[in-house]
Chains A and B, each alone.
Chain A
């Protein structure tokens, strides 16, 4: 399993702890797929602060918008998704509009367990029919798990009716051989712990999901040799805290810590995740803006499996 499977798959779901770079990695995967000529959609789920705005310079809307050849972006807000859902499932537009205007109905639907998620997952099923590949930038791990387990909840809760049926369709999509989950992590102890926990939970709650790839973002490959490490340690002890020389030593230690944390994270992740490919992405400068960062990550993904960037 590798990046090729993702790019030539049907659905990629991306999650990870908050702040790990889920959006950047999602966009990089989507751009890589688009570069192969696959008609690709990058979506967020009901995000009030769409993260892809910073990358493409404009807030994504419910209707997919083209941002590059073969690449579209969208943000699936649930009210629009609900309107479309009811319209497609019930079929009569006038009645639907009248009913959805009823405040009680809105409140009822909003509050009914699972209805939000089923509506969004149904939309995902439809989008997967329209696009070659749909890449979903999911919310942070805990929330993502609760969305992904919804089809199973629906199965327990609804014996009949369209919610049940749509839930089953969503379950079939999640279990499709072309559907994959990507987890993004950072070389930090707590992030690694949460990644391992989420992985275990997903294996349990959503067993049909394939997790082919864990992306270790912002990692630093080891460059210090033993002699340099030893000398750096001695300097740290010898130099006090208060002058310019200490700033230099601190900068060296800062990078040494990043390298050490990366090695530890790689060890823990490879021990804790069976049959999962681990891919490290180097720490890249953010100076040139999010668009450039996405292109660089996309290139790193491409190198990892000889895909044309």
Chain B
């Protein structure tokens, strides 16, 4: 396997226009996304980092409280970073509901139709709670951001595995619902039953009795209105969805899997490797985050630290020095065990990954947590140094 030929994170972030971070929860995916965005901005690119995560994690990672659907510019110079190259860093948290409302206003043929859709109870529930809506709107947002020409690079942070799979799946699930075929199938009996009479009876009549039975007549009527209003917009939606899928599968895009060195997270990483390969989506590489750092050999604290402990601990109560030495030896043993197990898991992962899967980079677990920009700069040093 020739990893030298694989572009590393720096080249990816200098050349691609879309980077999508996927992976399980709790592995610092948002921090890695923000770190990459920050680094690319330092290289002089105009970068947007977009999160669709409901728990407002990016806000934390960026040290920001809240930023709805608005683009927030992050002051690089204020971080003591070189802003002279013209780079910009922007961040946005997706607010699904208002993004969807805006989209309806934009796509509806006239104001009246838009108003009726926005007031439809089914639309109102669907736009805020329908599984997949969030991911769908993230795709829409990507489309808009890419089309605006205001950014050289968009970094997308996705929610943990179950939802992140939806991210690949849900846009099509949702657009399937707006599929002319299904809408026609659903609306036909209501529109044309009277005209065709018994001709359309048979199977579909049974099916509709069943649907009416399951969902109730009121709901079917509301849905019928909703779909009728949507019919005119279906083509527009489908075009946009195709554009998003084209964007995601183009050579300008790259998927980066972020994981932690534990069995569960690596299983998820394997899953993403398979999915991305099967869907022929461009794989940028894998980041193993939060790796404990520790040498392999046991160390004797008395031999290595007795002098230092004595020099620095003379004023402390009797026994403190010996207790700390014993503690450090025990802690080192535990850390060695953890680091050794992680090493084995990462080696196994490296052996499994094929060259087409892209780079494999390890990031150390940093002392303290990554929740401010200074910590992200630190993380960037580890990610981009050779």
Q: Which residues of B in the span 113-145 have a Cβ within 8 Å of any Cβ on A?
A: 121-122, 125-126, 129-131
Residues 54 to 73 of chain B near chain A (Cβ within 8 Å): 54-57, 60-61
Asked if B309 and A235 make an inter-chain contact with CB atoms under 8 angstroms apart, the answer reads: yes
B26's partner among A20, A47, A143 (CB-CB below 8 A) is A20
* Chain B residue at minimum C-beta to C-beta distance from A253: B367
Q: A142-B53, A198-B55 are in contact. Are A157 and B312 (CB under 8 A)?
A: no
Q: Are A108 and B60 in contact (CB under 8 A)?
A: no
CB distance A248 to B329 under 8 Å? yes
Specify which of B207, B301, B321 is in contact with A248 (CB 8 Å cutoff). B301
Contact count A vs B, C-beta below 8 Å: 230
Distance between Cα atoms of A4 and B39 in the complex (Å):
51
B34 to chain A, nearest CB (A): 12
Is residue A128 within 8 Å, beta carbon to beta carbon, of the partner chain? no
Residue of B nearest to A232 (CB): B324
* A207 and B297 alpha carbons, distance in the complex (Å): 54
Give the residues in chain A near B381, CB-CB below 8 Å. Answer: none
Within 8 A of A (CB), among B214-267: 214-219, 222-223, 260, 262-265, 267
Q: Give the CA-CA distance A156 to B327 in the complex, in Å.
A: 59
CA separation between A159 and B301, bound complex, in Å?
72
User: B-facing mask of A228-255, CB < 8 A → 1, else 0?
Assistant: 1011101100110000110111111111
CB of B369 closer than 8 Å to a CB of A: yes
Contact stretch, chosen from B41-49, B171-179, B192-200, B346-354? B171-179
- Chain A interface extent, by class: 35 or more
B291 to chain A, nearest CB (A): 13
Q: Is A61 in contact with chain B by the CB < 8 A criterion?
A: no
Residue of B nearest to A252 (CB): B328
Give the distance in Å from the alpha carbon of A110 to the alpha carbon of B246 in the complex: 25
A17, A107, A224, A253 interface centre (most CB from chain B within 10 Å): A107
Instruction: Tell whether B356 is near chain A: CB-to-CB under 8 Å.
Output: no
A136 CA to B213 CA in the complex, in Å? 29
- By beta carbon, the residue of chain B nearest A157 is B125
Beta-carbon contact of B25 and A250 below 8 Å:
no
Cα–Cα, bound, A261→B371 (Å):
14
A19 interfacial contact with B, CB 8 Å? yes
Binds B, one of A112-120, A173-181, A271-279, A295-303: A112-120
Complex contacts, B368 vs chain A, CB 8 Å: 257
- Using an 8 Å CB-CB cutoff, how does the interface string of A39-77 with B read, 1 for contact, 0 for none? 000000001110100100000000000000000000000
A287 within 8 A of partner (CB): yes
Q: How would residues 133 to 148 of chain A score, 1 for a CB under 8 Å from any chain B CB and 0 otherwise?
A: 0000001111101100
Q: With an 8 A cutoff between CB atoms, is B189 at the interface?
A: no
Contact A251 B367 (CB under 8 A): no
Contacts of B53 in A (CB 8 A): 142
Check A1 for interface membership: any CB of B closer than 8 A.
no
Across the interface, name the chain B residue whose C-beta is closest to A229.
Answer: B324
Contact code string B299-339 (vs A, CB < 8 Å = 1, else 0): 10100110011011100110011011001110110111100
| B309 / chain A contacts, CB cutoff of 8 Å | 231, 235
Of the candidates A104, A159, A287, which one forms a contact with B185 in the assembled complex, judged by CB atoms under 8 Å apart? A104
Query: A194 within 8 Å of B by Cβ?
Result: yes
**A residues near B182, Cβ cutoff 8 Å:** 104, 107-108, 111
Q: Is B332 within 8 A of A235, CB to CB?
A: no
In the complex where A99-B206, A244-B304 touch, is A191 in contact with B26 (Cβ < 8 A)?
yes
- For residue A142, which residues in chain B have a CB less than 8 angstroms away from its CB? 53-55, 159, 163
Question: What residues on B are CB-neighbors of A159 within 8 Å?
Answer: 216, 218-219
CB contact under 8 A between A254 and B177, given known A108-B211, A159-B218, A247-B299? no
Q: Convert A214-228 into 0s and 1s, putting 1 for each residue whose CB lies closer than 8 angstroms to a CB of B.
A: 000000000111011
The B interface, classified by DSSP as helix, strand, loop or mixed, is: helix
Q: Considering the complex, give the chain A residue whose CB is closest to the CB of B318.
A: A227
Contact A114 B324, beta carbon cutoff 8 Å: no
Contacts of A261 in B (CB 8 A): 369
B360 within 8 A of A: no
Residue A28, interface by CB 8 Å: no
B363, chain A: closest CB distance, angstroms: 16
Nearest opposing residue in chain A for B335, CB measure: A251
Contact of B174 (CB < 8 Å), options: A111, A254, A287 = A111
| CB proximity of B167 to chain A, nearest CB, Å | 13
B312 touches A163 (CB 8 A): no
Cβ B210 vs Cβ A99 within 8 A: yes
Of the candidates A104, A244, A255, the one whose C-beta lies within 8 Å of that of B295 is A244
Whose C-beta in chain B lies nearest to the C-beta of A152? B129
Kindly state whether residue A18 has any CB partner on chain B within 8 Å. yes
Give Cα A98 to B132, complex, Å. Answer: 28
**Segment 179-193 of B: residues with Cβ below 8 Å from A:** 179, 181-182, 185-186
Please pick, from A51, A112, A186, A254, the residue contacting B367 in the complex, using a CB distance under 8 A. A254
Q: Could you list 9 A-B pairs, sorted by A, with CB under 8 Å?
A: A19-B260, A86-B214, A112-B215, A161-B214, A162-B216, A238-B312, A248-B305, A248-B332, A286-B341
User: Which residues on A are within 8 Å of B, measured CB to CB?
Assistant: 17-20, 47-49, 51, 54, 86, 89-90, 95, 99, 102, 104-105, 107-108, 110-114, 116-117, 139-143, 145-146, 149-150, 153, 156-164, 186, 188-191, 193-194, 197-198, 223-225, 227-228, 230-232, 234-235, 238-239, 244-245, 247-255, 257, 261, 285-287
